[in-house]
Structure 1
């Protein structure tokens, strides 16, 4: 295992010299000498089945044991390494079911005792007169210096300590399990690297210099067994570049293929309908809305299918942007579809957009699982007599056929599967592919957007329309609920509305509904007796949900006890107070989404987070939500708190290819690699001159990683 650098390299990635990941993916881990059926089962539990899996099982930490000390110089309480000779081995039982192994060792400067509890098998490892390299933390016990449960390795022959994987070097520490120890993983990785030899290089020397990275062979060896921490840092940088390069090339290749294969609708520039919509609004568009509508219009007029994400703060005006986009499609003689994840949200979109669009002559219909005149609506859609169809997943069920779908708007796309979006993509006339606009109220950190959503154009609404009021967020303990109830009564007397959100029960929607029903009874019989209280949860019939929302909007029941069914899109401007019970059970972004249901009118909003949270994570989430109402700031905080893999949503599978990359810490490198990958595809679109990169990015494009699907 060498430490190759760039200086002496003249190879080109056009030649496949060395081992490729594809080849190592075909080689089972059982080909290693130490791996029999039992160890193979244990490795499988860690997700390791091939040599590629093993070498991508990177260390989680390192222990520097490169400095050898004399026993007399050992500092207390610090990780140390020294060599010593065994003087005495003693195994005794201080009491039943407790064994104590004591090994006295010495060097020219002094003596120290090594101890192990309940590990009698280690006695056979030590014989008087043998020399060992030992690592651990020295401590004083009953006036004597000792080390409890140290790492050790016998020094044999002339090779001495140089061949040790445990001491006298920087030792990798791997994610392990009860069956597979970190020490075993060290030995397996050493053997695999020794057998693998050189790795196929994917970048030319000039490209490595531009990216400031070392050769791949050096990087793979040094990430597992670095000779210095500087080597480890250099190795990590190269492997992060490799991870990002595969992802960015896969995204770019997929997008280029999609655009080349798809016949797009180049929407005509007829601004009259859009102008009528904007003129009919009771308020001016924000600068952000104007900018985003212009971006969408430009994409829709282009000869390639639009595939754009519209992300915006809660209450940033995404619905108006969606309406404007639909007008662009309708003005050119096509139809539009808006698909929402719940009936509540679909109906809200309908009741908000139908009058707005109807006023300028756009024909709008609603289609959900509860639509009674379904066949009549479907027939009108098929004849082109409906300009915009709003609905739930019912839009993609059998029997729904558009005359000419020009734009599909998908709200909260992470709640839909790829096949549902693909179905809408096939609804254009004459084989033309409709444009796709994906809306999300969950702010996506820029790091995540360009890494995982690099195949999308991203438009951001980063301004709040006038008329929105700030929301004050307060954390209260359960015994302070009366304060919140008084605020609710005060707001209701002033014509306001209040939400009481019940705890999230991930295991069961039935339990969640039961919790909401219990809270409803408690409030109506107790603190809010005499006030109209409604109930809304996911297990209610559609007609009952509609009735509950209508009563809440009208003020007949100014308090609504609800589950997270209200998390997305519910728009009642009079709502000014929210109580979120057991707030520690909700994620940071969920708390922010829920809070966004209030303060949508002129009155100040107050959100109470009711929690007796004690855990550090829960407290961090609650304090973060109380400290800011900026969703993008909270998204970055969420990324930091929860770890990056947890935020990939519908593209969760993509996380497996980003093992070393930190979306926060590596952001400058992410930007650099994205630019490099785009430039590379411009000059070598089929990657003919980069066969190793092509093989690796093709693996992602092939469909193994579902988040690369368009739609």
Structure 2
């Protein structure tokens, strides 16, 4: 078995299963080995029924009190039974498992493992796994069981069997790290790390394995970024510019004054555009700090110098919002603008292509459609990407090649500490906007327990009555028996029942089709939907100044920096805004973390505190989306490894780096093309 063999060489993987794996980007043995667990389940000793509380996932040892009964509800076969131990009784329910009727015996004792809920005032364990053999269960005690990201047609058990088969037949895993680096930093052997990350013998081994694999990701990224920077042509720009009075006029006529941080960043951009060198600059600013107006000024300057410029954003809704805003700000200065998105009709796209090719428009705003092959620009002098962390390095590069050697301005709303930003965006100069406009009302925050929900719902109802809108964020799309967290689909129904019928409540999540997501986002932006229940897909991509409430369920499951990003969805208009962080645990540490958000609206301070508080890899939280999303590494929780890996990469010569990428011809593109999968 070889690293680049197709996964269908494995037993049990036929054509249908192979296609299911391809949907989540798994085509080769290497892809499957690098499909890491998203968490682990650790089995404990059985507990007494009297000790169980709602929400627990536990194992009990009990016997059937009476024979199971079966009933059919629509297409669902429901099996109900009652079990008892020496401390009490418990109802158990299975769905679409009728064969258990013949396997379960009255009076026999079994081990049942599952999640406990309260239904009709009684504790119920739903869909428990049954262990008919005690020895089978006790062998699993204290063993970390991998839990994988799945898709339709792929089960957790299927992945476990496939990965075990690989480990049995593949003796050595490909190692990209030079031996001298592995020795100097005392790294676990990569082959061993790949075994321990999937099937760790204990928690300590799993953490060491993870550290090694995260190091690999950050090390190779640093090397690839260094090569990219060294390959760039820093010769004279092909698009020299002069300062234009229209820019000063636009600043003077704005209904607000630019902050000193905005003015400082604008000076950086002006110097770059009027120098004889190509601009490669990142504007890093907190949520609501006013980065967009700097993009507008740069677009105006390029257009008035006779060039074309484009602005690429991550969602169609945001593209349309920017298009409308740019038309309002720039058409008075004789700047023509067009929109280009993937959902436009073929005729609309052809018309846009003609306008762009013939320079009948100065500014083009759109989504990934801007980098399609059919788009031909004329004198494209400036490329701007908004919400930089939603685009990979390679996507940014593709847009740059559309104009030969244009100036590049990228913007990020994620307050990454400067030490990390210098590593992650090593090919860019950085300007930081670290103050908010004076007219922004500070968001009022509160951290509450789940018992506060009724009061929160009443507050949302009052805000809607005043003509406002609200977001409710849940960490999951659907219910998962292994994770205690609110999910979007069930929560939406719960909220519809809790709020008056005239309040329109809808949900949004990343698994929906692009057209569905755009429709929901647009209806929310237009005010047709009053309450939007969503996963973190709303972290970027829509600007709704009328939204004044952000309620985050299971807030303890997110990084502070991401919670701050979510909070930035409100506080964008003239009305007072509020953020309610609902903590679903009694953990003192979780509450202390959330208190940082309660006391501060400063994203850079929060990001630094996040680094201090989160341990070496928060393995069991919901993955933090955005930024540069690596397979395993997280730039916040693994900041220490990121710094060490970047330091190690600096010790490698250009020749050694060249050798690594020549031996693995697709590795560099694979590293630099990664982007967030949460949209």
For the criterion TM > 0.5, the same-fold answer is yes
Please tell me whether the aligned partners of residues 246 and 697 of structure 1 are also in contact (alpha carbons under 8 angstroms).
Answer: no
1:526 aligns with 2:504: no
The CA deviation at 1:695 is: 4.2
**d(CA) in 2 for partners of 1:700, 1:50:** 9
- Residue 503 of structure 1 is matched in structure 2 by 475
In 2, distance between residues paired with 1:177 and 1:539?
Answer: 29
1:577 touches 1:606 (CA, 8 Å); kept in 2? yes
The residue correspondences of 1:597-636 to structure 2 (distance < 5 A) are: 597-614=569-586, 618-619=590-591, 621-636=593-608
Aligned position for 1:595: 567
CA contact (8 A) 1:504 1:564 kept: no
Aligned match of 2:557:
585
2:289 aligns to what? 316
Aligned partner (choices 642, 646, 650) of residue 628 of structure 2: 650
Supply the distance in 1 between the matched residues of 2:478 and 2:305 (Cα, whole angstroms). 45
Cα shift at 1:553: 4.2
Matches within 5 A, 1:304-453: 304-372=277-345, 373-428=348-403, 432-453=404-425
Deviations 1:25-59 (A, max 9, x none): xxxxxxxxxxxxx9999995796997446514517
Note closer, same or farther for the CA distance 1:523–1:249 as it changes in structure 2 (3 Å cut): closer
Does 2:609 match 1:637? yes
Q: Which secondary structure state, in structure 2, belongs to the residue aligned with residue 304 of structure 1?
A: coil
Are the aligned partners of 2:561 and 2:606 in contact in 1 as well (CA < 8 Å)?
yes
Distance in 1, matches of 2:388 and 2:327, equals: 22
Aligned to 1:55: 183
Q: For structure 1, list consecutive stretches of 5 or more residues without a partner in the other structure.
A: 1-37, 61-173, 184-239, 678-690
C-alpha distance in 1 between matches for 2:628 and 2:313: 16
Cα deviation code 1:178-227 (max 9, x no counterpart): 689999xxxxxxxxxxxxxxxxxxxxxxxxxxxxxxxxxxxxxxxxxxxx
The 1:651/1:706 distance shift into structure 2, 3 A limit, reads farther
Q: Is the 8 A contact 1:498 1:560 kept in 2?
A: yes
SS of residue matched to 1:299: helix
- Are the equivalent residues in 1 in contact too, given 2:470–2:532 (CA < 8 A)? yes
How many angstroms apart in 2 are the aligned matches of 1:643 and 1:310?
29
TM-score normalised by structure 1 residue count: 0.57
TM-score (norm 2): 0.60
Q: State whether residues 472 and 606 of structure 1, in contact with CA within 8 Å, keep that contact through their aligned partners in structure 2.
A: yes
In the TM superposition, residue 423 of structure 1 has moved relative to its aligned partner by 1.9
**Which residue of 2 is the match for residue 288 of structure 1?**
261
Query: Which structure has the greater CA radius of gyration?
Result: 1
Give the C-alpha shift of residue 426 in structure 1.
Answer: 1.5
Residues 457 and 498 in structure 2, CA contact (< 8 A), matched pair in contact too: no
Contact 2:239-2:406 within 8 A present in 1 as well: no
Among candidates 249, 255, 258, match of residue 232 of structure 2: 258
Tell me the distance in 2 between the aligned counterparts of 1:665 and 1:53.
Answer: 14
SS state at 1:311 partner: strand
Q: Over aligned residue pairs, what C-alpha RMSD do you find?
A: 4.7
- Residue by residue over 1:352-410, the C-alpha shift from the partner in whole angstroms, topping out at 9 and shown as x without a partner, is 22222223222111111112311101110111111111111111112111112111111
Distance 1:301 1:175, change over 3 A: same
Q: Deviations over 1:464-483 (max 9, x none)?
A: 11221111222222221111
Distance 2:672 2:233 in 1: 13
- Deviation of 1:280 after TM superposition, in Å, equals 3.3
Distance, in Å, in 2 between the alignment partners of 1:181 and 1:521 is 38
Per the TM alignment, residue 694 of structure 1 is displaced from its structure 2 partner at its CA by 5.1
Q: CA deviation at 1:650?
A: 2.8
Unaligned runs of 5+ in 2: 1-165, 189-195, 206-214, 619-623, 675-679
Query: Comparing 539-548 with 391-400, which one deviates more in the overlay?
Result: 539-548
Distance in 2 between residues matched to 1:588 and 1:656, nearest whole Å: 13
| Pairwise CA distance, 1:245 | 13
Q: Tell whether the 8 Å contact from 1:345 to 1:570 is kept in structure 2 after alignment.
A: yes
State the partner residue of 2:80.
none
Q: What is the SS of the residue equivalent to 1:650?
A: coil
Q: How many Å apart are 1:538 and its aligned residue?
A: 4.3
Q: Distance in 2 between matches of 1:622 and 1:399?
A: 48
Contact 1:312 1:441 in 2 (8 A): yes
Cα pair distance change 1:506/1:51, threshold 3 Å: farther
Q: Which residue of 2 aligns with 1:190?
A: none
Q: 1:399 to 1:642 in 2, by over 3 A?
A: farther
Q: In the alignment, what sits opposite 1:63?
A: none
1:573 alignment counterpart: 545
Offset from partner CA, 1:293-346 (integer Å, 9 cap, x none): 110111122222211111101000111111111112112111111111122222
